A and B are shown apart, each in its own frame.
Chain A
């Protein structure tokens, strides 16, 4: 670490100020507001608010809707993570086996990451649109009736696909880099040691990829829990019948549509705690535990 000694006491603070200001105004202040809000209860007209301690939290635990949202979030996050990481790994392994035009293929595969979440949502919404979409038509030919507007499982499938699709590029890049960091001689040694391609993958390649995989696991959970808001908002808006109402969307919906600031605040504090927990896990283990 390089150390600089400042003669002027004011200068270091001045240099730090912009960063500190941004952190305070855009992160710490809103977070504190949320915490404060979560202890308040507003009346029906939003004129008076009373301090109610943990009443908002207590109500959440008793709310079937909130518990359902947690369950939906869990299913959604696991599905998106598994789907996007699985597909990305498959593609990365395929690219790793390619000898030529790897670069072009890699570049093409990165494009979806540049698409804004809302646009991605709309894109998939059109593809799966029960009236004009191509997928319902194709599925209809195969005897499957697609209507995510009324079918909760299909709605969930749609938002999972749309969210996972966007994240595949990101995972793919990391997996390709991870695979290329594994010396070819290890796989050759395993081939001579009598391991077939599939056995080789599961006993050599995959264990050696574990640092990458673990890193992506945390990143993908965070992504699917927090950054998929736009996808949900542009496709299902949490419906039908709460089927895709993930926690982040519910914070927005209860707060800005339902105008229940207290509950919304409590929910966002819970989300904040989840993020903190994930970040701790990330920093604790990603660089130490998984190392071989």
Chain B
């Protein structure tokens, strides 16, 4: 890139040489309870142009590592070891000296782009500031470079948007601006701390692509800190797995994914629900939680969760041992893992559920527990403080049809802002929607009286996303679980017995009843939330992103629990999630929502194997798969831009503004897309075509299926065709 030329003609470190070297890094924080040993003995060498991922669960010391390298750690932290950049020691430098290096040689991309950009300066000002701090060039030149950088990271109309303030950017655009700022001075090392965790999958795919472009253009080495193994597989060359502040395994991305030698790595890989998994076996579960790094007992910190642990593991902590070329692992049993070629299924046995015979055909005949008929929810957009007037309408949900049968799980997926949560709230509120009907257990919500509603709430329960926010912090667990029982007039003795039974059902102990929610980990809290939902023996449970706030190893346990409960109690789930891999694992049918409309609905096998709507295809292709070989060979459909505002949706087909198919159409072919939203029709038959093959799209000739939209694989696109994405 020509624009970078004025700043750096030759690199201090040639490609392939070690640019950043961390040796035996220890970071300790003082605390009331004792020293918190956040990082214990981390070493790695990062070569120029290379991407290394640091993976671990929350509290494993990933972020502290990045802050220590950048010199941004709190003053109370005690750091030992060595961090060298271009062979120069960084530890021990003063803050002023570090400021010379930060932003020039070392750059950082933070997780939350809203709080990482200053809200009172324009994006351009902030990039210019980053440039002028390190280079004495004129403001107009720096400004020009800012525009070039924004163009590089894919911001449309960069010469106009450079004058925008951060709040005028969407989340994905802010993250792009952050990347632009980070690469402004052509750094040698970029540290990206969970750069896409706060973003939707389609936006995540865009941002990861930008990051790859930025790395290619600057030749910088990247340290990618993440918990998402799919992102790791797609982005990195080497991987460091951290557990309780210690690196437990390091190696090339292929070694880690295909020949892991440490049980924690193996368990983590087995616990991720996979988008491309065809069988629905229970996920590997690592029992327990990551340990607290205060007062760690001697021995391997993974012992309490490790099925391979023996007495030797409790006595001495294993050192990193070379187990292959450029592959080290810290486990006493790594040799046994290799010789017996142990997999996650061997190490972490999961109960195999007794298969319940349920044919899809049978399900259709079963009782319908929930149905939405052309349900609409519009919110007025008001303006003015004294004289409030309506200035518009937010079309949050704009006419959807859904049917849920007894014993079935229906997944509802889509980007944030597509109306999934509004749909859930409308069902739970048991009010009449703006238009259309909501029928729960055969009763239309519009005609319900107060007593009817109360009776129906017994059968309709909810599990929320954030297990901390959904449990009243002032109430002991017993009272939380007993609350629905009290509302519906259970006697004291019956309540007591029922709560204890529920605690056991969700895998908690009776002794936990006295404790407050804050004494529990995220996974346990979510179990309490599930116990509360189960208390009244409901028939339908609505789950709003129940696992998205949990760590991977904890998430698997909760998913398995939900699955088991469903089979035992013949529950119906309406499962809202943005993670399509989780949906594939748990759901029978899946509905894809876009801007308040359902664009595709069908059985999980059909929708995942033969996605016919371009949006579904883009969503599926955007999700990273934790498999490096697959990731390398995959092509992605990148959607342009962000979700349009539901207050001002595009005319005609709502997806046309971002539709990759629409772009390839002739003006004549585009006419129907511009005129009206396509109806849901049976998805066209035929073998799915490859993603790369273009060809002229054909107008869909199928019609609305006879038995209504719930029976079939239906899609709302004039030019729908099945595509092989996975």
Are these two chains actual partners, yes or no? Answer: no
